[in-house]
Amino acid sequence: MTRLILRFIATTILTLVAVSPCAGGTPTSMVANASTTPQSATINTSFAHPLAVTVKDSGNSPVSGINVTFTAPASGASGLFSNSTTTITIATNASGIASAPFTANAVVGGAYIVTASATGLTNVNFSLTNNSLASSMTANASTTPQSATINTPFAHPLAVTVKDSGNSPVSGINVTFTAPASGASGLFSNSTTIITIATNASGIASAPFTANAVVGGAYIVTAAATGLTNVNFSLTNNSLASSMTANASTTPQSTTVNTSFAHPLAVTVKDSGNSPVSGVFVTFTAPSSGASGLFSNSTTTITIATNASGIASAAFTANAVVGGAYIVTAAATGLTAVNFSLTNSALAQSMTANTGTTPQSTLINSAFGFALGVTVKDASNGPLSGVNVTFTAPSSGASGHFVNTTTTITVATNASGIALTSFTANSTKCSYAVKATAGTLQTGFVLTNEPDAMDDILFCYGFE
């Protein structure tokens, strides 16, 4: 009997020695899991990601059964684990992971450190911040209303900004964006109609959104966060664009070097029913060298989304190289490109009033017999087209108005270098001057609004 007992004891001891207390080899490393540090959360709320580490052996295999102790600050900005204390010990699972959900306390502050420690391994630190309570959530500029062609992304991701009562941004707030489940709608980056995004350090939660294949709208996408008023985004899915044409007066054009073209380059995009399509991205591209110019972004290419009228418009300024005509192209996916024919003219050297335009006279409230006109030429005496000439009449007293019913108008010179504008006398009698200016060049017109009685003529000229 004694021998049997001793044999049993020896067998048990050998078995205990042979069995390791943990699966895997000897642990050699412990690292923080993705997205666990840094983090922030509003006071008295749980952090989005439980604090978690992974323990591995020298062969990079996970090690289970390792006790990891998580320790948060005992005072100040901190929080509690699931055991309602500032420290907890968790054994790694079969994947070598020890995970501990953590809830911020009521103290605003951070970043503070929560430590994960295990015997024989280097500590892991988690950098956490407790944010103040959020008090407002607003839609970011340009995010609502919006429209896009079916099956294309909206130009601006749906985005909100969350702030506290002191108007400071609050990070770590989970905002849930929800689009309609059917009909005109779209998908977020996770290929569903709902997504949750945590606000960043600027208090912003942003979610790119792509229209589905259903034409319609406006429909509402909602952004919601606990304790805050929902934000609504008004979106529309437009039908497929079928045509793109250059707008009137945009091609051909010419202007003096280093000056803006009189008409911004512009196209109109329409669908098969001839209705304007908004939200279509149009890319304008000018030559990269030689006679060309720059867009408002100071480069030779710019992308503009069509507006509610289906129009994409891009102001364009000639560079310093005389030449042309050259081509600026407007392109949009699935549509035939539009070409703009532009010319950069030499600097104007002279501007003279055209024959018969000065002096002139007409009865009050009637048009002058000759339209006011100037001819602009370059240093070689060649006519310059595309030069903007501004005609200015007196704003009070004897004067008149141009075709735009004001006392000033700007007209671009034509291919003959001529800028013409009709002019109508007002009801005040006497002589006056109308000026024409283009850059540093200037000329004038002497005009008289004639009365219809001799005593008025004598009064006008001081013979009372």
Q: Mind giving me the DSSP string for 108-143?
A: -EEEEEEEEE-TTS--EEEEEEEEPPEEEEEEPTT-
| pLDDT of amino acid 16 | 38
125 Cα distance to chain centroid: 38
Tokens of 256: 């003096």
**Could you tell me the pTM of the whole model?**
0.43
DSSP 134-150: EEEEEEPTT-SSEEEET
- Tell me if 237 sits within 8 A of 215, measured CB to CB: yes
Q: Name every residue whose Cβ is closer than 8 Å to that of residue 299 and which is 6 or more positions away in sequence.
A: none
279 Cα distance to chain centroid: 13
Per-residue pLDDT of the chain (464 residues; tens, 9 = 90+): 445 444 444 444 334 333 344 566 899 999 999 999 999 888 899 999 999 999 999 999 999 999 999 999 999 999 999 999 999 999 999 999 999 999 999 998 889 999 999 999 999 999 998 888 888 999 999 999 998 888 999 989 999 999 988 788 988 889 999 999 999 999 999 999 999 999 998 999 999 999 999 988 889 999 999 889 999 999 998 888 889 999 999 999 988 899 999 999 999 999 888 889 888 889 999 999 999 999 999 999 999 999 989 999 999 999 999 888 999 999 998 899 999 999 998 887 899 999 999 999 999 999 999 999 999 998 778 888 878 899 999 999 999 999 999 999 999 899 899 999 999 999 999 999 999 999 889 999 999 999 976 545 444 544 44
What is the spatial distance between Cα 292 and Cα 287, in angstroms, rounded to a whole number?
Answer: 6
CATH class of 350-454: mainly beta
Tokens of 156: 């601006």
What is the spatial distance between Cα 399 and Cα 117, in angstroms, rounded to a whole number?
Answer: 89
Chosen CATH of 241-345 out of 3.40.50.720, 2.60.40.10, 3.90.730.10, 3.30.70.20: 2.60.40.10
What pairing do the DSSP bridges indicate for beta strands 311-314 and 301-305?
unpaired
Q: What's phi and psi for 5, nearest 5 deg?
A: -65, -45
- What are the residue ranges of CATH 2.60.40.10 in the chain? 27-131, 134-238, 241-345, 350-454
What pairing do the DSSP bridges indicate for beta strands 51-57 and 97-100?
antiparallel
What is the spatial distance between Cα 131 and Cα 42, in angstroms, rounded to a whole number?
Answer: 4
Which CATH code is given to the segment(s) 27-131? 2.60.40.10
Across-strand partners of 361? 448
403-407-408-409 Cα dihedral, nearest 10 degrees: 0
Q: Which whole-number Å values give the CA distances from 423 to 159, 308, 375, 392, 455, in the listed order?
A: 53, 36, 17, 11, 26
What is the spatial distance between Cα 144 and Cα 155, in angstroms, rounded to a whole number?
Answer: 11
What is the spatial distance between Cα 323 and Cα 379, in angstroms, rounded to a whole number?
Answer: 15
What is the spatial distance between Cα 88 and Cα 30, in angstroms, rounded to a whole number?
Answer: 17
| pLDDT of amino acid 448 | 97
| pLDDT of amino acid 385 | 82
- Tell me if 110 sits within 8 A of 128, measured CB to CB: yes
In eight-state DSSP terms, residue 65 is S
CATH fold group of domain 134-238: Immunoglobulin-like (2.60.40)
The gap between the terminal CA atoms of the chain, to the nearest Å, is 154
- Going by C-alpha positions, the residue among 277, 269, 146 that lies closest to residue 208 is 146
